[in-house]
Each structure stands twice: as C-alpha cells, then as structure tokens.
C-alpha cells in the first residue's frame, strides 16, 4: 500500500490520490485550495469545491486562481456550500454520499473531462461526535476504490473548529498535510486487508483506537493487518492493537498481523502478536 506521504503543499496530486488537508489559518488554507485547483485546471479536470460558507465566499477563497471566471462560467469549476449538502436535518449517510461521489466522478468523464478533482471541507462533520463515525465509514468506502480511478480527492479540516478529532479524519488518508509536529499514521482498507502506516505514539493512540473501531464497522469476518510501512509504534499503541485483536477474536473475527516492519516487530513481540520470527 505504500508509506504515509506528508504533503507540504497542495500540489503534486494525481488521479487516484486521496488526501487530507488540516489547516489552522484561513489565508494559508485559501492558498492551498487555489494551488490544488490550479493543478487540476492545468490537467483539464472537472473541479468541485465543497467549502465552508456561501458560494460567493468560496469564490473569494479562489480569488488567486488564474482564469477563475472562465472556469466558473464554463462549469469546469463548481462551487457548493457544505451547509447546503449537510444541513443537519438528516443523518450523514456514508453509502449515499459515496455513491454520489462516484456518480460525479463518472459524470465528469462522461462530460469529457479526464477526471474529477474534488476538495471537500468536512470540518462540520468531524466536529460533530454523532457524524464522525459515519464520516470515517464514508472515507473508508471512498478510499478503497480510489486507486486506479480518475478522481482526485482532498478532505480539508479546520483544526480550530474540529478539536482533537481532526487527526482521526486525517488518518483515513494515506496522504496528509499536518500543521504541527505531532506524529501521523494512516489506516487504509482494501477488502479485508488493513494497512497501518506511519507512526503511532502517545499523541495519537486514541485516534488509532477510533480508526480500528471504524475498521470493525466497515468489514466482516477475519482481517489481515499489514504493518510493512509502520515506521514507529510504542508500547501504548501496540497495546491498542492487542486489545483490538483480543476483542475481534472474542467475536469470532481473528486478526492476523503480517509483514511486520522492524519497528513493529520489537513491540508486537511484547504482546505475543505477529508472525513467528
């Protein structure tokens, strides 16, 4: 599945990429959105910005985007207020939203674009404890189908409003932009195979627990948990894996740890987990 890719700039993304963008200042975020869509413009892609605020404000976020008016007039760039889509009157439906995403991706190709490039600001969902689990389900659902697709996706989260939950939304993505020196990991799902990549320590163990719970919801039956690209995991993080394995086994769902990195091997042995040496 590959290593965790940390983004410094919102550039260099290509079809099949699915990333997250955490931000804590508006001006910096608007520059990132502009750069992201400028790259998509140059590729000739269908651009969709689902942002926080009315459409007029979203257009203003992109005031630095060259040919903005032409892109809007031609329909190549479309703006949607996240409040219009998630108005809080109905629960967030992961399956329906994933279906809508892929419908838009297919429509973009049908309309003659090489692919869809979408940026969605999911802060409101991340900040809502009731909606966050559904958002994670949605992200898993999208992420497992992104590889090889013509779509490019970036999920943005305003750390100031999302609180500590922002890291959980980020960790469903193998590509992440971070604003602090904290450790980062990603949980990727492909069928019944889970890849845990990056770094797990005391700062993000609770996030790992939440993501494993989301994995449990999103899957059925036994799991393979691959750790080939896990660069660091401490005792506390490994204990979280051990508790997950124990609880899954108690429910008749064995978890097999495979492809242990050297870092993972050291701590997993402490808990009797992993492949025989």
Contact footprint for another protein (CB under 8 A): 180-183, 199, 201-203, 232, 234-236, 239, 242-243, 246, 262-263, 266-267, 270-271
Nearer to another protein, 78 or 239 (CB): 239
Buried b (16+ CB within 10 A) or exposed e, 149-167: bbbbbbbbbbbeebeebbb
Q: Give the other-Cβ count within 10 Å of 9's Cβ.
A: 12
Report the residue number, 71 or 273, with the smaller CB distance to another protein. 273
State in angstroms the smallest separation of the CB of 200 from another protein.
Answer: 10
- State the nearest-atom distance from the C-beta of 234 to another protein, in Å: 6
Shortest Å distance, C-beta 199 to another protein: 8
Residues 63, 26 contacting (CB under 8 angstroms): no
CB of 202 to another protein, least distance (A): 5
Is the distance from CB of 153 to CB of 19 less than 8 angstroms?
yes
In this complex, which beta carbon is closest to another protein, that of residue 34 or of residue 183? 183
In the Cβ-directed half-sphere of 269, how many Cα atoms lie within 13 Å? Answer: 8
Residue 136 DSSP label: H
Q: How far is the CB of 206 from another protein (least distance, A)?
A: 11
CA distance readout (Å), 171 to 157, 178, 191, 240: 12, 11, 18, 16
């Amino acid at each position: 599945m590959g290593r965790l890719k940390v983004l410094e700039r919102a550039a260099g993304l290509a079809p099949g990429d699915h990333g997250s963008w955490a931000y804590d200042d508006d001006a910096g975020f608007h520059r990132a959105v502009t750069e992201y869509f400028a790259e998509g413009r140059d590729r000739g892609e269908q651009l969709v910005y689902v942002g926080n605020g009315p459409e007029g404000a979203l257009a203003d976020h992109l005031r630095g985007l060259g040919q903005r008016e032409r892109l809007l007039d031609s329909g190549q760039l479309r703006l949607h207020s996240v409040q219009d889509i998630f108005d809080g009157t109905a629960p967030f439906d992961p399956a329906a939203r994933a279906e809508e995403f892929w419908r838009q991706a297919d429509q973009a190709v049908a309309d003659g674009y090489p692919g869809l490039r979408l940026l969605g600001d999911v802060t409101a969902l991340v900040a809502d404890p009731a909606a966050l689990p559904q958002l994670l389900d949605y992200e898993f659902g999208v992420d497992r189908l992104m590889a090889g697709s013509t779509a490019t996706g970036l999920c943005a989260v305003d750390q100031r409003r999302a609180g500590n939950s922002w890291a959980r939304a980020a960790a469903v993505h193998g590509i992440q932009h971070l604003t602090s020196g904290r450790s980062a990991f990603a949980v990727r799902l492909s069928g019944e195979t889970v890849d845990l990549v990056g770094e797990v320590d005391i700062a993000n163990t609770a996030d790992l627990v939440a993501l494993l719970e989301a994995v449990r919801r999103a899957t059925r039956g036994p799991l393979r948990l691959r750790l080939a690209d896990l660069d660091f995991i401490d005792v506390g993080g490994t204990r979280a894996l051990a508790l997950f394995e124990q609880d899954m086994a108690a429910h008749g769902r064995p978890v097999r740890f495979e492809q242990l990195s050297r870092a993972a091997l050291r701590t997993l042995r402490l808990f009797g987990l992993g492949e025989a040496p």
